Amino acid sequence: MKEVTLKQIAENLGISVTTVSKALKDYKDVSKETKALVRAEAKALNYKPNVFAVNLRTKESKTVGLIIPEVVHHFFSSVINGIINEAEKHGYLVIILQSNESEELERKQVDLLLSKRVDGIMMSMANTTVAVDHISGIKQANTPLVMFDKISKLIACSKVVINDRQAAYEATKFLIDKGCKRIAHFRGALLPQNSIDRFLGYKKALEDHGLAFDPKLVYICEKVDYDDGRAAAKKLLADGHKIDGLFAITDMAATGALTVFKENGIRVPEDIAIMGFSNWFLSQAITPALSTVDQPGYIMGRKTFKILRKEMKAKKQGLAFTPITKTLETKIIERDSTPK
């Protein structure tokens, strides 16, 4: 089907191409009657603006990219909703790509978004990402970038995070205050910054309260999901470690551990108290309901886009932009997996 042009609309209506163009852009010097005629004809012909031409003229595509490890994860779903709701207010479309916790796929997605000339990129790193040269490439391409949640300190860009170390410290302290003396930790992969910080917060809380840190009680969950939690809990029991508390890096991992403990006749919280992280929506639907750290995903999403928009606006105006780091507050949610 042949592409409909402004010239065709102009010829059909017996007016100039300039008038058609101005009418579609809602210029004030074109009458309401002419605008109505032009829009009706454009609709009848199924006219679509040439996006590339518009991009060249306005120097923006009104599209932004979002790279996220896992779309179906409750926390990331909340982030996505926050981003989309904020983006729609300002006329932006969001291209959402899932890295599936794969560095290789994440690299391809960065290249794709740069080739599409999106106005800006928002991303949370995959757990498996080691080198960050592809992320540095976003900045080298002069494309606005905001990282959130799983970030790299090596990248000089805006970031929206929580204080993972402090939140983990408070979660571990909460277990200590409930009487736990021997607390295990199911941590994430070795490299993501949030995994590092939550581990350090756990370790510091033990040390500050006179409890010995035992590296044998730290188990790595690469994907930090339900299956990882189950596997780590089974290994902990097989290793014969006696614990009375568990702090897991995510609610999913905590839930996996909880089911294994129940299958083995271990009472929660009477025998082992469990603390999760992120306040996953199902954490209050399981039995016992999971005590956790509330991580404000929706607010993180909104703030991420707001900062990106500031940088995109500065770029369009040719102004310098200083990266912004926004740290959001978390809070402890007490439920039934910890003693009252």
Residues 115 and 153 in one domain: yes
Q: Is 338 inside any structural domain? A: no
Question: What's residue 1's pLDDT?
Answer: 55
How many independent structural domains does the chain possess?
A: 3
Residues 223 and 256 in one domain: yes
As a whole number, the mean pLDDT across the chain is 94
Residues 272 and 314 in one domain: no
DSSP 167-181: HHHHHHHHHHHTT--
- Average pLDDT, stretch 12-36? 91
Residues 153 and 241 in one domain: no
Q: Is 54 inside any structural domain? A: no
Question: What's residue 21's pLDDT?
Answer: 87
Question: What's residue 47's pLDDT?
Answer: 86
Q: Is 310 inside any structural domain? A: yes
* Position with higher pLDDT, 156 vs 74: 156
Q: Is 201 inside any structural domain? A: yes
Residues 32 and 132 in one domain: no
pLDDT digits (tens, 9 = 90+) for 288-297: 999 999 999 9
Question: pLDDT band at 264, cuts 50/70/90?
Answer: very high
Question: What's residue 61's pLDDT?
Answer: 87
pLDDT digits (tens, 9 = 90+) for 172-231: 999 999 999 999 999 998 888 899 999 999 999 999 999 999 999 999 998 899 999 999
Residues 231 and 141 in one domain: no
Q: Is 80 inside any structural domain? A: yes
pLDDT digits (tens, 9 = 90+) for 233-263: 999 999 999 999 999 999 999 999 999 999 9
What domain range is 88 assigned to?
A: 59-161+297-329
Residues 170 and 261 in one domain: yes
- According to the 3-state scheme, what is the secondary structure of the chain? CCCCCHHHHHHHHCCCHHHHHHHHCCCCCCCHHHHHHHHHHHHHCCCCCCHHHHHHHHCCCCEEEEEECCCCCHHHHHHHHHHHHHHHHCCCEEEEEECCCCHHHHHHHHHHHHHCCCCCEEECCCCCCCCCHHHHHHHHCCCCEEEECCCCCCCCCEEEEECHHHHHHHHHHHHHHCCCCCEEEEECCCCCHHHHHHHHHHHHHHHHCCCCCCHHHEEECCCCCHHHHHHHHHHHHHCCCCCCEEEECCHHHHHHHHHHHHHCCCCCCCCCEEECCECCHHHHCCCCCCEEEECCHHHHHHHHHHHHHHHHHHHHCCCCCCCCEEEECCEEECCCCCCC
Q: Is 92 inside any structural domain? A: yes
- Average pLDDT, stretch 10-34? 90
Residues 195 and 279 in one domain: yes
Question: pLDDT band at 73, cuts 50/70/90?
Answer: confident
Residues 21 and 79 in one domain: no
d(CA 15, CA 298): 49
Question: What's residue 240's pLDDT?
Answer: 97
Whichever domain contains 131, its CATH number is 3.40.50.2300
Residues 81 and 115 in one domain: yes
Q: Is 336 inside any structural domain? A: no
Q: Is 334 inside any structural domain? A: no
- Is residue 265 scored above 90 in pLDDT? yes
Residues 212 and 227 in one domain: yes
Q: What is the reported pTM?
A: 0.82
Residue 306: which of 61, 58, 64, 54 has the closest Cα?
64
Question: pLDDT band at 51, cuts 50/70/90?
Answer: low
Residues 239 and 282 in one domain: yes
